[in-house]
Amino acid sequence: MNDATIKILLTTPLFLYSLVLHAATHHYQLTIDPLYHRLGVHACFGSSTTALQAQDPAAGRLLAQVKLQPKNRYRLSVSGRHLTFSKPLQKKACISYQVDLKLASRLLSQSEIRRFGTDLLLSPSFWLWLPAERTHADQIRIAVSLPAGVAISTPWKPASGCGTKLCYRMVNTPGHWPARIAFGRFRIIRVPAGNTYLRVALLHRQKLGNPSKYLKWLAAAARAVTTLYGEFPDQAPQVFVIPTGHKRSAVPFAQVLRGGGIGIQFFVDQYRPLADFLRDWNATHELSHLFLPFIERADLWLSEGFSTYLQNILMTRARLLTEAENWQLMHNGFRLAQDNAPGKTLRYNTRFMHRDNAYLRVYWSGAAIALLADVMLRRDSGNRQNLGSVLKKFNRCCMDHTKAWSATEVLAKLDALSGTTVFRGLAGRYLSSTRFPELGRLYRELGIRVHGKRISLTERARFSHLRRSLTGSSPQHPRSLSEQEPEEIELDDQDRR
């Protein structure tokens, strides 16, 4: 052991202790009037700060009634999204301000603030002013006082210690990560998700209609996700369901937002029957994103590819698809992706995915890599190891939702946890290739036969048993939806006053 190694071993615990010792807790209190015209914020800081920052450039124009405590000791100036003080604001100093939500509705886009009937959906980007010097270890606690009958939905984690007020702990993510908060006349509904639950808010209930359809759909998707390794990958994530009117699919748009915690938005065609929602892949796809942390944009092939692979596999395990339907849908995706954005490497296609409309190539190349990795792990371990078992280890040892990860970092962790070089080997082979991952041999060994655009399955193949284990087509297969006992759906008063 050399001197440098000894020095690292000796100093690392002290460094970690130093981080904890110097971590600050910043306390925020939120209020909103019954008509959603003004949002009030009172913030007290656990460390000295010279400036506050919001994310939206128009945030400064929306401020009103800004007051500092103690009074007359500081002057402040506001410019865009920066609020600076004449001298450092000392520890335990406080600031109060109001945000004009009516003006925000006129100045900002609908993605930042929008009304849905009696409900208001808004981004923290224009009203949450945070210390510019806050560290990764700082804690942000938020107490909320609401008018009678009004609820709040947030991605923040429920906490205690705020007396009679609602209390939350905000995950200290980078300030530019998007999030959504809602105030309204909705209920927070707890939908079971394995070892935890989804915190579901149905916005614009008058247009959505009977909530039963959406709750059964989300419960089925959450149940499908838990079949990967027996647990749901995040604790009590926030979920929105928002009506869009008549569209070409049951769920025309959905996305995961990670600012301050995990939140998922589903925009739905409320006129579709339950059967259409149960066969729609969007919910399983978005929830599958939670198996990985936030991945850098340059590596979207990994995050979108893994979720694209899992969306069908997990729906099949939950008996929302048959095994044949699963492989047909996956084959359709692989086939279409081979003709999308040809002649460029996967690395290039990922970088310019939006410009070149290379979504199919990026998503399904990543899905093919995930399939290859899953099969290789099962084959080389005698089916004792698989993608799900490795992701379970990753979730327990290494998951960090407070930073952006590169594909290199994630794949190195997955290889270390699996004791293989499967993940980095596949990425190294295909990221620099202009060819779609080769699946012909894999198909033959799994017993997948191609007949033009159609596929069929055969049990007379070397690894047909691995194919069945991928989709849970075994005696240990979960019961079908019709055979399962009805889940209890709880109404949660934690987020309502």
Q: Compute the average pLDDT of residues 303-313.
A: 98
* 488 is a domain residue: no
Collapsing DSSP to helix, strand or coil, 79 comes out as strand
Q: Is the pLDDT of residue 338 over 70?
A: yes
* 61 is a domain residue: yes
Which among 120, 53, 402, 54 is positioned nearest to 261, based on CA atoms?
402
* 78 is a domain residue: yes
Domain stops at, among 130, 148, 182 = 182
The CATH number linked to 398 is 1.10.390
Residue-wise pLDDT for 217-254, tens only, equals 999 999 999 999 999 999 999 999 999 999 999 999 99
Same domain, 136 and 223: no
Render 112-172 in DSSP notation, one character per residue.
TEEEETTEEEE-GGGT--EETT--TT-EEEEEEE--TT-EEE-SSEE---STTSEEEEE--
Alpha-carbon gap, residue 406 to 409, rounded angstroms:
5
Domain stops at, among 154, 182, 210 = 182
Q: Report the share of the chain in percent with pLDDT over 70.
A: 90
Token pair of 115, please?
A: 């009304």
Strand 166-170 relative to strand 196-202, pairing = unpaired
* 198 is a domain residue: yes
Same domain, 86 and 99: yes
Cα 163 to chain centroid distance, Å, stands at 30
Collapsing DSSP to helix, strand or coil, 295 comes out as strand
pLDDT value, residue 252: 97
Domain stops at, among 291, 312, 347 = 291
Residue-wise pLDDT for 268-282, tens only, equals 999 999 999 999 999
Same domain, 174 and 263: no
The CATH number linked to 42 is 2.60.40.3650
The larger pLDDT score, comparing residue 176 to residue 161, is at 176
The CATH number linked to 192 is 3.30.2010
User: Band of the pLDDT at 23, cuts 50, 70, 90?
Assistant: confident
If one counts the domains in the chain, the total is 3
Domain that holds residue 230: 186-291
Same domain, 167 and 277: no
Alpha-carbon gap, residue 41 to 19, rounded angstroms:
28
* 84 is a domain residue: yes
User: Band of the pLDDT at 485, cuts 50, 70, 90?
Assistant: very low
Same domain, 279 and 376: no
Same domain, 252 and 190: yes
Same domain, 170 and 204: no
Render 399-467 in DSSP notation, one character per residue.
--TTSPBPHHHHHHHHHHHHTSSHHHHHHHHHHT-SSPPP-HHHHHHHTEEEETTEEEE-S-STTHHHH
Cis bond upstream, residue 70 (ω within 30) = yes
Same domain, 278 and 216: yes
Same domain, 139 and 264: no
Radius of gyration of the chain, Cα coordinates, nearest whole angstrom: 25
Same domain, 369 and 466: yes
Beta-carbon count within 10 A of 148 CB: 7
Residues 6+ apart with CB under 8 A from 106: none
Q: Compute the average pLDDT of residues 353-381.
A: 97
Same domain, 137 and 62: yes
Token pair of 242, please?
A: 């928002």
* 89 is a domain residue: yes
pLDDT value, residue 428: 97
* 352 is a domain residue: yes
Strand 188-193 relative to strand 253-257, pairing = unpaired
Residue-wise pLDDT for 427-465, tens only, equals 999 999 999 999 999 999 999 999 999 999 999 999 999
pLDDT value, residue 72: 66
Same domain, 163 and 195: no
Alpha-carbon gap, residue 186 to 23, rounded angstroms:
36
* 486 is a domain residue: no
Residue-wise pLDDT for 81-126, tens only, equals 999 998 888 888 999 999 999 999 999 999 999 999 999 999 999 9
